[in-house]
Chain A
Amino acid sequence: MTRRLVAGATYRPRWLAGGVPVEGPDEDAFTLAVAAAERLGTTESGRTATIDRLELVGEFPPAIDRMLLEALGLESAEVHRHGPGVEGFAHALNDVGRSPLAPEGAGAVITVDVASARTEGAGPSGAVGVALLFADGPGAELLGHATRSHPPERPPVAAEWIRAAHRAHPTANSSTTGRLGVIARAAPPVLLAEWSRIFPAVEPVVVPWLDPGTGALPSSRPALALRTFLERTPPGDALWLAAIQSDRTEFLAIRGEGPVVWADPVPSLSRPTPADGPFPSASASDLLRVSEGAYVARPRYVENLPSRWRFVADRCAGCGTTGFPARGRCRSCGRSDGVAPIALPREGLTVLAATTIHPGAQPTEFDPLTAAIGPYSVVIAAWPDGPKVTLQVADAPAGTARVGDRIGTELRRLYAMEGDWRYGRKAVVTPGAVPGASAAPT
């Protein structure tokens, strides 16, 4: 069987700085990765695929493996981490597209860029998460990957460069049709001229590293470019991606064999951040915050993650009652045998009550959030079959959520305590912002 790129999804934060999407105060690499992967799960192949490996591209916290497996409900998948940037992306694609997998298995590549983590390069930097699903089926096939080093800040020698393109796509010749996407700050004309001489039927197109609309996205730029080019490349044509960096070029060669399905993008709210810059990263003192009294100890937080992150509830085989969160006992008939876990949908809840917490009325754990955004709203919302959940509202001005609104949810940071971040789902009220995620047994 051949593993092909069959589906993809992009998640862009709803906050803007300098006109570019940046992560909100409760978002980070983990939440962006989950948001992209959850959207991938709304495509037909995403719903049915059994993902047994995850390739991560970007800068992630050390505990990301377990956190992602829990958030995505993948018990036994392997997680491979790759460095940020185009090398990481190329290796991730190579690993997932060409490695032997379990017979029914599928692989996903998740790339994440976080604006506040950017240290290199000039100009605005953005935040985005992209998830790509590789599974058996029609889609885009990875033909090969090659890399060519060159002296720092000097363009590659044209003949060397063409050799690398051949390495990535060994059967290409002068009659091969398709496109070359060059991701570069500046693509030397001599390279493009040589390319057109060798592959006259492959049109080179230059994509700037820094896209004014999305900012510099070192890890996700190739994934986003891939989508753009695949949409313009007829089935059977070859597609090269060449990313020219200061000291190396990465080549990926792909052939479209069928449509790649992309989850609906999140509509931007065009919400500028208060300072029109990325929200400040958490300070050391935030992370070291220690409980003074009531708090959820780490083991209890971890114990509740299936319910907190994936809305796992109790379904009673005896009386049919659904109780949230899962506690292993039926709320209605009191039985503990025959109570099975079921994941409730992440969207399609209805707001029953809404309040806005004004500064001073928040638990002290939320002091940093309140300092960043001011008042926030909290709702109690119900699933169609009855259970209710209490959720903070993300990404919208306080007071936006109203009784009767339909909401979706996103995984977000709650607060830092005793050295690490606590995460949970929050409500999002943007109409149509959240794709339909259906209930699935866990």
Chain B
Amino acid sequence: MSDGPRALLRSAIDAAFASVDRGVERSAVDEGFLATLGIAGWQIGNSASVLAEEAGRPGLPSTHIENACASGGFALRAGAQAVAAGRDLVLVAGVEKMTDAPSARRRYWLGVSGDTEWERLAGLTFAGVYGLIAARHAAEFGTPPEALAEVAVKNHAHAAKNPNAQFRTPISRDEWARSPRVADPLGLLDCCPVTDGAAAVLLAGEDVARHYTDTPVILAGLGAGSDYLALQERASMTSLAATRTAAAEAFRGAPFDRGAIQLVEAHDCFTIAELVALEDLGFAPPGGAAALTLEGATRLGGRLPVNPDGGLKAKGHPIGATGVSQVHEIFQQLRSAAGGRQVAGAERALAQNVGGSGATATVTLFARG
């Protein structure tokens, strides 16, 4: 039998503690945030206490953060704000156990974070919403299907180098083209999978962090934004205003600009989402991400590697864990510990985490400490 949500959470938290160079007592943790959607009904309410229990730190003041697929990014933000408010050591973890439920129930739950009153009643789940985004993107910019294929092929190739990835087998463009249709123009290989997973990170102020390690990763910018829940109410269908708002806030406080970013963890729940993300983050003009992608710039070895861990597409998308997992990847990359998928010389990185189809989003900037 596969691990349940408690076991997943426990193993991620244990790994986070074990990764502290000079070791850390669990009693030093003084605040906790748990990101989870509670897919299929697993402990929807009050799950923060599970974090304290599985951290081996019963009694820890803990809060459950839920912003759909952006829960992890917002939990990280809450953790950073707690540190800024005076906490010494904050545990931020995310978990999702998605394969427990039968497929019909899972399908039901995959739509709970979309707009239920209009999009769902029209017969849409997220695949359908992103299908509409992709269709509109193609109508406005002539985005070729090959660009979607390249995102899928690239991220599967990256995941093959990641021992923590769900899919470690590369795919070809032919396989992408032959995959069953889901929500036109998106097929099965344009969609992120159903994933079990957990991730955990420890946050501390810089002076406290230096006590534990000589090579911390610095949170250099923190941004968040939101937008109308339903696509039909947004000004644009090809751009996520929440991402743009979050990126503007993150860079406003950062000591470097977009040009200094060397790798991106983008929220590629569907292939089109990675293209839209690159445009909203300012790495390509509107409609320009397809060209950037097709020229190979976003591959490992390219000038701006995107999702070196395989992304949501191939590493997997355990909803509550995803935003924290992006931070874990960046932590590895900026400490030159990413093994075969290491981005050479990576010193500055960006993570973008999106809730649903863009109703919420965080953008976080990181620098080698």
A and B physically associate = yes
Q: A residues touching B (Cβ–Cβ < 8 Å)?
A: 292-296, 300, 304, 308, 323-325, 331, 352-358, 360-367, 369, 375-376, 378-380, 387-392, 399, 403-404, 414, 422, 424
Given A361-B182, A363-B125, A389-B232, A353:B118 Cβ within 8 A: no
Do B108 and A380 touch (CB < 8 A)? no
Which listed residue (B105, B109, B123, B131) contacts A362, Cβ 8 A? B123
A388 to B115, CA, bound (A): 14
CB of B50 within 8 A of chain A?
no
Contact B123 A363 (CB under 8 A): yes
A364 close to B237 (CB less than 8 A): no
Given A293-B109, A390-B118, the answer on whether A355 and B131 have CB atoms closer than 8 Å is yes
Measured between beta carbons, the chain A residues less than 8 angstroms from B108 are 292-294, 363-364
Rounded to whole Å, the gap between the CB of A325 and the closest CB of chain B is: 7
- Contact partners of B117 in chain A: CB under 8 A: 296, 300, 304
Q: Determine the residue in chain A with the shortest Cβ distance to B232.
A: A388
Question: Within 8 Å of chain A (Cβ to Cβ): is B116?
Answer: yes
Contact sample, A vs B, 26 pairs, CB 8 Å cutoff? A292-B105, A294-B111, A294-B112, A294-B120, A296-B116, A300-B117, A353-B132, A355-B135, A355-B183, A355-B184, A356-B181, A357-B183, A358-B180, A361-B128, A363-B120, A363-B123, A363-B124, A364-B108, A378-B122, A379-B132, A380-B231, A390-B119, A391-B122, A392-B123, A414-B121, A422-B121
CB atoms of B121 and A325 under 8 A apart: no
Residues of B within 8 A of A (CB): 40-41, 104-105, 107-109, 111-112, 116-125, 127-128, 131-136, 139, 180-186, 230-233, 237
Interface residues of chain A: helix, strand, loop or mixed (majority) = mixed
Closest to A331 in B: B233
Give bound CA distance, A353 to B117, whole Å.
19
State the CA gap A325–B111 with chains docked (Å).
Answer: 20
CA distance A300 to B120 in the complex (A): 14
* Minimum-distance CB pairs A-B, first 7: A355-B131, A294-B112, A353-B136, A388-B232, A353-B132, A356-B184, A390-B122
Q: Which residues of A contact B132 (CB under 8 A)?
A: 353-355, 378-380
Q: How far is the CA of A355 from the CA of B131 in the complex (A)?
A: 6
**Could you say which residues of chain A place their CB within 8 Å of the CB of B131?**
355-357
How far is it, in angstroms, between the C-alpha of A300 and the C-alpha of B294 when the chains are bound? Answer: 46
Establish whether residues B122 and A392, one from each chain, have CB atoms under 8 Å apart when the complex forms: yes
Q: Is A363 within 8 A of B107, CB to CB?
A: yes
Q: How far does the alpha carbon of A261 sit from the alpha carbon of B117 in the complex, in Å?
A: 38
Say how far A330's CB is from chain B's closest CB, in angstroms: 13
Tell me the complex Cα distance, A266–B237, Å: 33
Given A378-B122, A424-B121; A352-B112 close (CB under 8 Å) = no
